[in-house]
């Protein structure tokens, strides 16, 4: 019922995360800085940086600090489940807050007719999404797109942050 009317919307950040990782997967071994990835994907640099920080903290990517540093995937694209990416950004999957253990002060209290029943749904979700890998999200290499010469510009961010 939001602007798009879609349920199960994932956050834009998670969406960007998949785009960013798909880009990185193209050069799986190489280190890429946030700035370069931003340029290659078209996502604004601050946003790319934010996404990568989260992904790094959750172990989806590895980071190397310092000059010449950057990020690389922790494992091959066909071993990273999309659901893991989303969880890295948004936290554990659950259809409601009403899951085992959490949230002590439900106003409906012990009378809630569906308490604990969402677990089944959540399990089904995880199961269904667990099999879809990052590699499945990549298109078969489109030329002309996104692959504008990999230049390490020292020009800086003076060019301004394009909005996403």
Partner DNA sequence: CCATCTAGGACAAAATTAGTGCTAAATTAC
Partner DNA sequence: GTAATTTAGCACTAATTTTGTCCTAGATGG
Residue 62's DSSP bridge partners are 72
Q: Which residues, including other chains, have CB under 8 Å from residue 124's CB and lie 6 or more apart?
A: none
List the structure tokens of 145. 């797109």
**Residue 2 engages DNA in binding (rule: CB under 7 A):** yes
Asked whether the beta carbons of 57 and 18 are under 8 A apart, the reply is no
Rounded CA separation 58/84 (Å): 9
**Residue 30 engages a copy of itself in binding (rule: CB under 8 A):** no
List the structure tokens of 127. 């199961």
**Residue 89 engages a copy of itself in binding (rule: CB under 8 A):** yes
User: Among residue numbers 102 through 161, which ones bind DNA (CB under 7 A)?
Assistant: 152, 154, 161
Question: By rule CB under 7 A, what count of residues binds DNA?
Answer: 37
User: Among residue numbers 98 through 137, which ones bind a copy of itself (CB under 8 A)?
Assistant: 98-121, 124-125, 127-129, 131-132, 136-137
Using CB under 7 A, list all residues that contact DNA.
1-4, 9, 11-13, 16, 33-35, 44, 46-47, 49-50, 52-53, 56-57, 63-71, 90, 152, 154, 161-164
């Amino acid at each position: 019922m939001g602007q798009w009317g879609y349920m199960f919307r994932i956050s834009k950040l998670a969406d960007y995360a998949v785009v960013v990782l798909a880009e990185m997967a193209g050069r799986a071994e190489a280190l890429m800085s946030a700035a370069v990835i931003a340029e290659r994907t078209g996502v604004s640099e601050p946003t790319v940086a934010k996404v990568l920080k989260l992904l790094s903290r959750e172990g989806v990517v590895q980071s190397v600090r310092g000059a010449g540093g950057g990020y690389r995937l922790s494992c091959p694209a066909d071993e990273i489940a999309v659901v893991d990416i989303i969880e890295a950004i948004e936290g554990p999957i659950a259809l409601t807050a009403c899951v085992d253990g959490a949230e002590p002060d439900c106003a409906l209290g012990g009378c809630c007719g569906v308490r604990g029943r969402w677990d089944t749904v959540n399990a089904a979700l995880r199961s269904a999404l667990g099999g879809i890998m990052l590699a499945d999200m990549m298109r078969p290499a489109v030329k002309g797109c996104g692959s504008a010469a990999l230049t390490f510009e020292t020009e800086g961010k003076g060019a301004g942050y394009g909005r996403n």
